Structure 1
Amino acid sequence: MRTATETPEAVTPDGRGFRPFWGYSALTNLQDGVLSAAGPLVVASLDRSPQAVASAVVAQQTPVFLFSLLAGALADRVSRRTMALAGNAVRIGGLGLLALAAAGGWISVPLVLGVLFALGTAECFVDASARSILPSIVPMAELGTANARLFGVSMTMQRMVGPVVGAWLVVLGLAVPYAGSALMLAAALVLFARIPLPPHEGVERHHGNPLRQVAADVAEGARYLWSNIPVRELAILVAVMNVSFGALAALLVFVGTERTGLGTGGYGALLTAMGVGGLLGMWVYPRVETRASASTLLRIGLVFEVATHLLLAVLSTGRVVPGGPVVVPSELFHHSAWVLVPWFVLFGIHEAVWGTISTTIRQRTVPSRLLGRVMASYSLAIIGGAVLGSALGGALGGWLGWERVFWATGALAAASLLWVWRRLPSIAHVEPVPA
């Protein structure tokens, strides 16, 4: 495979290779956001039980745990363009089926859940291929800026715009969000087909038992991740930090509704603030990248994340130390929106900058032939950590009370920071590898 700097189609984030990829990312993330809201809402319109509604989320997330490693192995084995096109074609077909079922009046909860599971499975393979494509169309020196722009549009479309659009489309009719999502993906495929890629990127020829070969590919990726110390330590850090953040995110609804003074709108205000911060992070990253080292930015981000847990602990309990006297004024205790909303804008910026740096490190460090498998492993660590954290947050909240959980998540985040502090320079300082 030729590297990005060796092929004439490889361009900067302002060139013709990145622009269609950015547009593709915008449309697919908009569709993801629409479906994240529409799936549970459509199920709720058919069955009001909490179990049925929650199962819509589970159906979309479970494929990540089942198929991420397989998808990563295939992304390194077959044409990444073909894999992305085929996966998105399956998604369009599934969405079309749901739209027809809703329009014809034969939609049901089992059908919705089954199709959502199929859509989540196809998305695993699409994401595995798409994550591995960027280094083929952007020079190594431009990866940070490119990733920042992708993070910005992803957070904006998936968290801010998509769920709102999805909720309103459900109001227009149960078929509308699925038909609209199918059209979004169709438009995204048109853009994806315009991305100039090296002619044989990721293609390998093998003979023998296919299942055994795929298992060997997955094992090779796992061995590389574990043997490469900076890559391994970054994976561990990402997983642990996502446990603490997953618990925070699971309980953030209580902070938004009971501490901001905005009632039920408080939770939405905090999520919107993070989305705005993510959009700003797309603009901030290229400016801070040239002024501070990656290790410095990672350290600042981790300190800020620990501070976020502790701020929520103080504002939720009214205490500056666990079990201490209540010292937070009542007005701030019950009306903290003026503190939390701007803080979560900053958190969104941190999330975009930190995510951009960690993604860029992986793309520059990992050889192209292993990139699909390693990126899939990271995706599994990110989502697995978040899901584990959500479950842990719920369990601790039922035992300790939701207000006290932030002390525990803050302690976990602080312990992770202390463990990785001295290691961050070696993690962040990587030399680009040949394809």
Structure 2
Amino acid sequence: MWTAQAVSIIGTWMQLVGAQWYIVERSPDLAAFVQTAMAVPMVALALPAGALADIVDRRRLLLLAQSFQVVVALAMAVLAATELLTPAFLLALTALLAVGTAANAPAWQAVSAESVPREQLSGAATLNALSVNVGRAVGPAIGGLVVALVGPAGVFFLNAASFSVAIFVAARWRGQPVSDRDRERLLEALRAGGRYIRFSRVSRRVMGWIFVFTFLSTGMWALLPLVANQRFGLGSGGYGALLGAVGVGAVIGAMLLPRLRQSVNQNRLVSVSFLIEGVCLVAMALIGPVWLAGCVLVPAGAAFIVVISSCTAVLQLSLPGWVRARGLALLLTVNQAATALGAAVFGLLGGALEAGIAIAVAGAALCVAAPGLRWLPMPDISRIDQVVSQHWAEPALVVEPSPRDGPVTVTTRYRVPAAYQGAFIEAMVLQGRSRRRTGALSHSLVQDGADPELFLEIYLVATWAEHMRQHDERMTGTDRQIEAAARAYVVGEVVTHHWFPPHAPDVDED
């Protein structure tokens, strides 16, 4: 799967070079809009695509998305070869390719995570991040060579072929079948994914650091072409060589990462990588010889792959299967948004000052951000157990509700001696977050005024089907541990009730 992803990403970057060159020859003012056409659908559609990937058959979704991309890429190639492709139509087709990428990416990452044992997930995340960066480094260089030899149409044909490789791999993959029973609707899935991220400290922390790092490191990616051309006087070949240095660094970083994880605390590893990336960017603004610039880009590429793959691995390991594609889709959205914002900010800064100075500012900011990991560290996920735990007893109901009945209010009564109430209330804060992550719309804990040892937990779920998803597929080993920690302070029987909106019984009128 890694090989197919790498081939597809290389094809995408080749297509970007071909599209830019095709427009430059016909309408240079529109060249900058190629990346916009690629970025906007990714930001707009990644979250819905992630929700879709969690509620439908991922294999079918991958095959449909990639087949759509093959058709669009072939249309672009044929029209370019026959000189019928206008710049405006090229931008529209580029946006359609990005729609396919947005639909494909969350499902592909989730499938990659499902295809390996949990202990190998960090390595899989490293390979995924490596394929992205190798594609980013190698794709433009190959694309420039193909454009020089046969023109942009040749690049578009090769891009279509790269999607065919991914289709072949996806067709051979066999995952867990998706149950049709009470399947989530798309909007419900989006809301459920948003609630999970909102009440998951691990997810919020990882995405925050990804945003900071991507936003600042984008200064290098956005301004490296200007530095190559204006400072070093390089053409497309020289620029490709600099990108190749980044790619070499990414490969070296990926090779060293497993050993580094064994010997260095992950938070320190990410912090040091922030610092290395920052120092390398500052050095880019100060050094003169182009060969030295290439040498500096090698550790920059290594640091980049360490941060991205480490953060992605932490997120993948912390996400339960039912929401994994949605979480990875949000990570993709955050990454794309940070890239777009960083390119705009540092592009403007480079235009107002000088490209090298703007890169130095980005590097200095990375160096300043690195110590922040001491106060807001990467979460420790060594104790997280995301295996599904169906430890809740089946509800004892006289009337069988329909899946769409609701809202459902769930109450649980606890008796807690006075000596343990402080610790119990603190443990129930974590349990409240667990309820909210897995589907509760609200959560509260109240104490009986007449009997202070009596506590009542109350939470609201939108529908009976949503509550049964908590029972059957959303509660994990970690949620079970959180409940056990709270119930350690409880004496006597724990009683749970399920409350529905009242329905008046049918009464025969005399």
Mapped contact 1:149–1:282 kept (Cα < 8 A)? yes
The code of the aligned residue for 1:74 comes to: L
CA contact (8 A) 1:295 1:428 kept: no
1:163 to 134, 140, 146: 140
Structure 1 79/156 Cα, relative in aligned 2: closer, same or farther at 3 Å? same
Give CA deviations for 1:371-429 in whole Å, capped at 9, x if unaligned.
11111111111111111111111222333443433453244324432333233253565
Q: Which residue number corresponds to residue 120 of structure 1?
A: 98
Instruction: Write the mapping of 1:168-317 to structure 2, written as runs, cut at 5 A.
Output: 168-170=145-147, 171-200=149-178, 205-206=181-182, 213-259=185-231, 267-313=239-285, 315=286
- What is the SS of the residue equivalent to 2:177? coil
What secondary structure, in the 3-state scheme, does the structure 2 residue paired with 1:193 have?
Answer: helix
The residue type paired with residue 118 of structure 2 is: M
- Change beyond 3 A, Cα 1:259–1:179: closer
**Structure number with higher strand proportion:** 2
Which secondary structure state, in structure 2, belongs to the residue aligned with residue 132 of structure 1? helix
1:184 Cα deviation after fit: 2.3
Letter in 2 for 1:405: A
For residues 241-288 of structure 1, give each alpha carbon's deviation from its aligned partner in whole angstroms, at most 9, with x where no partner exists.
222112232222343345558677654332111011112223222222
Residues 238 and 382 in structure 1, CA contact (< 8 A), matched pair in contact too: yes
Q: Indicate the SS of the match to 1:397.
A: helix
2:365 paired residue number: 412
Give 1:60 shift. 1.5
Report 1 or 2 for greater relative contact order, CA contacts < 8 Å, sequence distance ≥ 6. Answer: 1
Distance in structure 2 (CA, Å) of the matches to 1:92 and 1:39: 16
Deviation of 1:364 after TM superposition, in Å, equals: 0.6
8 Å contact from structure 1 (residues 43, 109) kept in 2: yes
Q: Given that residues 148 and 281 in structure 1 are in contact (C-alpha distance below 8 angstroms), is that contact kept between their aligned partners in structure 2? A: no
2:328 to 375, 378, 381: 375
Partner of 1:354: 307
Task: Specify the alignment match of 1:48 in structure 2.
Answer: 27
Structure 2: unaligned runs, 5 residues or longer: 389-510
**Contact residue 205 and residue 379 of structure 2 kept, 8 A:** no
Which residue in 2 is equivalent to 1:81? 59
Instruction: Call closer, same or farther: CA 1:42–1:256 in 2, change over 3 Å.
Output: closer
Partner of 2:119: 141
Instruction: Tell me the CA shift for residue 73 of structure 1.
Output: 1.0
Indicate the larger mover: 386-395 or 150-159.
150-159
Supply the distance in 2 between the matched residues of 1:281 and 1:430 (Cα, whole angstroms). Answer: 27
Amino acid at match of 1:334: G
Provide Cα deviations, 1:127-182, integer angstroms capped at 9, x if missing partner: 0110111221101101122222333333223421x223323333414432222222
Displacement of 1:361 in angstroms is 0.7
Cα RMSD for the two superposed structures:
2.4
Query: How far is 1:238 from its partner?
Result: 1.1
Distance in 1, matches of 2:81 and 2:357, equals 47
Query: Mapping of 1:51-62 within 5 angstroms?
Result: 51-62=29-40
Contact map agreement 1:367 1:433 (CA 8 A) in 2: yes
Equivalenced residue count is: 387
- The TM-score normalised by the length of structure 1 is 0.82
CA distance in structure 1 between the partners assigned to 2:357 and 2:161 by the alignment? 45
Kept after mapping to 2: 8 A contact 1:131/1:375: yes
Partner of residue 94, structure 1 = 72
8 A contact 2:27–2:87 mirrored in 1: no
1:265-321 CA-to-partner distances (Å, cap 9, x unmatched) read: 6543321110111122232222222222322211221221232343335x0xxxxxx
Relative to structure 2, which stretch is displaced further, 266-275 or 366-375? Answer: 266-275
In structure 2, the residue matched to 1:6 is none
User: Which residue of structure 2 lines up, in the alignment, with residue 334 of structure 1?
Assistant: 288
Q: CA deviation at 1:365?
A: 0.1
Equivalent position SS for 1:246:
helix
Structure 1 residues 236 and 175: CA distance shift in structure 2, 3 A: same
What SS does the aligned partner of 2:264 have?
coil
Checking the alignment, whether the CA contact within 8 Å between 1:26 and 1:154 is kept in structure 2 is yes
Q: Distance in 2 between matches of 1:182 and 1:401?
A: 38
Deviation at 1:205, TM superposition (A): 4.8
Over 3 Å counting, the alpha-carbon distance change for 1:70 and 1:247 in structure 2 is: same
Q: Are the equivalent residues in 2 in contact too, given 1:34–1:181 (CA < 8 A)?
A: yes
Distance 1:177 1:266 in 2: 20
CA distance in 2, matches of 1:58, 1:267: 22
**Does 1:30 find its partner at 2:24?**
no
TM-score norm. by structure 2 comes to 0.70
Structure 2 CA distance for aligned equivalents of residues 402 and 158 of structure 1? 20
Q: Aligned to 1:196, what secondary structure does the other structure show?
A: coil
Question: What residue number does 2:454 align with?
Answer: none
Tell me how far apart the structure 1 counterparts of residues 142 and 241 of structure 2 sit (CA, whole Å): 17
- CA pair 153-267 structure 1, distance change in 2 beyond 3 A: same
* One-letter amino acid matched to 1:166: G
Q: Which residue of 296, 299, 321 corresponds with 1:343?
A: 296
Deviation at 1:30, TM superposition (A): 2.2
Post-superposition shift, 1:71? 0.8
Where does residue 391 of structure 1 map in the other structure?
344
Q: Which moved more, 1:146-155 or 1:127-136?
A: 146-155
